[in-house]
Structure 1
Amino acid sequence: MRSRKWLKRRGAYGSRSIAFRPNPTYLYYAVTSRWKPRGPFRLLDLPPELRLQILHSALLDCEEQFEVLQIFLASRTLYAEAAEIFYHDILLDITERTKLPGFLTGPITPLSPRLYFHTIDLKISLENNLRDFNQLYIPLLREMAEQGNLRTLRLEIDGRFPRLNFWSDRWLELAEEFCDDEVQLLIGPETSLDYVGPAFLADQPFQTLLDFLSDPRIPEVLLYISSTDHYPFWCAFHRPHSSKLGLPCHGGSWRGKSTRLKINQKLFLPLFRHAREVETLPLLE
């Protein structure tokens, strides 16, 4: 038989009458009256997770960003925490540039903004930026991944060159004999598949780009192309047209609403990496 001392009649407010409960208003004033501010508010005394919430709201949601950016000048600790938020996602459009932006130049220091980039959307133009991208940006991006926080690169190729062979070094030497004809290539894992396409696919600038896309030093590199105007050889590697009729991309023009199309690199890279042009014998006169 259970002991009666544990049995209590429950009323509408639980086992104890509301009359015997402590007054919450009294306790509130009693607790708050014990604390009085002494000196200035010390932000670094807050727990890290709460401090990061305050910095996130101040840096990204505040309209007066000019005043807020003075946080970077307060201390090295606040600079590192603020930079991790402010530079986390970066959009760079260098389609009209041939030089590095100022914040990407100079030696690496603990105060270098590029150390804090986590995700970069980088848009380049084939005509203006390919050689600069290979010579300047590829070493820089690898440095940012090895010494900084770079984890994701979304590289978008904007448009096409005015000529099919524009990426080839030969157009510099043989400008008068330049033509827009495609050439016969050997592609595939063993470069044994016959393919007809623009000559730049087998030339060094484009192959340098493909080697970079396969580089494991950056955890995630995604390749996109412009949807409005691109070389037809890309069409086999992006998603099909999103119409009810299932029409394919026609001649490098995609009729959907997207402004850029993601390339399936698992299919694309094995085919075109290490591609080489078929050597043709000169005609005998």
Structure 2
Amino acid sequence: MAHNVSGTPQALSGVSSYFRLPSELRLQILESVIERPSDGVPIARPGFCVPKEVRNIFLVSRQMYAEAAPIYYRDVRVDLRGYGFWSPPQKCANQFFETALTAREYVRNAMVCINLVDCCNCETVAKLSLGLHQSRRRLQRLDVRIGPDYPYPPYGCYVHPPKQPAQQLNVGLASGSTATGPICLTKDPFQNFLRFLQRPEFGTVSVWVHRFHLEFLCQFHASHSCGRECRGEWRGPGDWVKIDHEAMTETLMGLSSDEPTSRLEQAGQPGLTDLLMAGIEMGPNPLRTPSPSVLLSL
């Protein structure tokens, strides 16, 4: 992208006067005029482009871009929960980290939103770390948000209710009881995600779960102050509950099953679209009666 000064002599004179200001004052001015989303620049959103107002600032000159871009790209958001047919969020995020090499270096805080029901994008988060690793000396914080299933609830609903995994197993909890967890906990994408959390190689990492979540995650967040069991429906303040990701990594790392089994969603037999979206390999009879779940002792 070219960054050339263009315009009338008066405009050029104004730019020269601006750069004669102290650098601290110039940064304060840019902080006040550059508008950024409160939850980060959505670099993974299909069709995302820099707003015209910000782009005009970038195009003033190379020096202006060098001072303004670190402010605009300081906080980014990678939302992988949506399903884009032509431009999936995973592709958009990878394009940013592969092609926007200069802008990538300015990222300091990254928020990654994933859906854990069928581990559709756990592997993407691990791969995304490759792009983040390129600037790991500059990255200061990675914030991982698990759920809800979709970035926006259905029309007329406050929040999309959590769905059950299409392929699931019973996971033993620390209390001695069991809870349903997605079978992908035993698969490489999720295990690679855990290894990534275990050795981030940069800044600090925090993991949050939406207040409506899969029950097996309850053992990794704090108990409610009133002593009420969560059971996947957090009733405390706020929509997000912080997860002890170190405990989650230690508990689920290396989890495996010699006899993984399938179970249909509790709502009944899923249709063809549901099976394809869940990533299930359809055999001769995809709607056959499932075998009993396997109890995994953690």
> Is this a same-fold pair by TM over 0.5?
yes
* Aligned equivalent of 1:115: 105
8 Å CA contact 2:117–2:164 kept in 1: the answer is no
Higher share of residues assigned helix? 1
Question: How many residues were matched structurally?
Answer: 213
Distance of 1:252 and 1:73 partners within structure 2: 49
* Aligned equivalent of 2:90: 100
* Aligned equivalent of 1:73: 59
> Matches of residues 97-246 of structure 1 in structure 2 within 5 Å?
97=83, 98-100=88-90, 102=92, 105=95, 107-108=98-99, 111=102, 113-127=103-117, 130-134=119-123, 136-147=124-135, 149-159=138-148, 162-164=163-165, 166=167, 181-182=169-170, 198=181, 199-228=183-212, 230-242=213-225, 245-246=226-227
8 Å CA contact 2:122–2:190 kept in 1: the answer is no
Distance of aligned partners of 1:105 and 1:54 in 2 relative to their CA distance in 1, 3 Å threshold = same
Task: Output the amino acid matched with 1:266.
Answer: E
Percent identity, aligned pairs only, is 29
* TM-aligned CA deviation for residue 124 of structure 1: 1.6
* TM-aligned CA deviation for residue 108 of structure 1: 4.2
8 Å CA contact 1:123–1:156 kept in 2: the answer is yes
* TM-aligned CA deviation for residue 127 of structure 1: 4.7
Distance of 2:74 and 2:116 partners within structure 1: 27
- Backbone CA RMSD of aligned residues: 3.3
* Aligned equivalent of 1:85: 71
Unmatched runs of 5 consecutive residues or more in structure 2: 1-12, 37-50, 150-161, 261-298
Q: Is 1:260 matched with 2:240? A: yes
Distance of 2:64 and 2:101 partners within structure 1: 12
**Per-residue displacement from partner, 1:101-121 (whole Å, max 9, x unpaired)?**
64751644554x332221122
Distance of aligned partners of 1:181 and 1:56 in 2 relative to their CA distance in 1, 3 Å threshold = closer
Q: Which of 33, 40, 55 is equivalent to 1:58?
A: 33
* TM-aligned CA deviation for residue 165 of structure 1: 6.2
Distance of aligned partners of 1:261 and 1:96 in 2 relative to their CA distance in 1, 3 Å threshold = same
**Per-residue displacement from partner, 1:128-169 (whole Å, max 9, x unpaired)?**
7x44441x4433333234336322111111046744463xxx
* TM-aligned CA deviation for residue 268 of structure 1: 2.0
* TM-aligned CA deviation for residue 183 of structure 1: 5.9
**Per-residue displacement from partner, 1:50-102 (whole Å, max 9, x unpaired)?**
211111112139xxx74453110122222121111111122333311333364
8 Å CA contact 1:90–1:119 kept in 2: the answer is yes
Distance of 1:254 and 1:70 partners within structure 2: 44
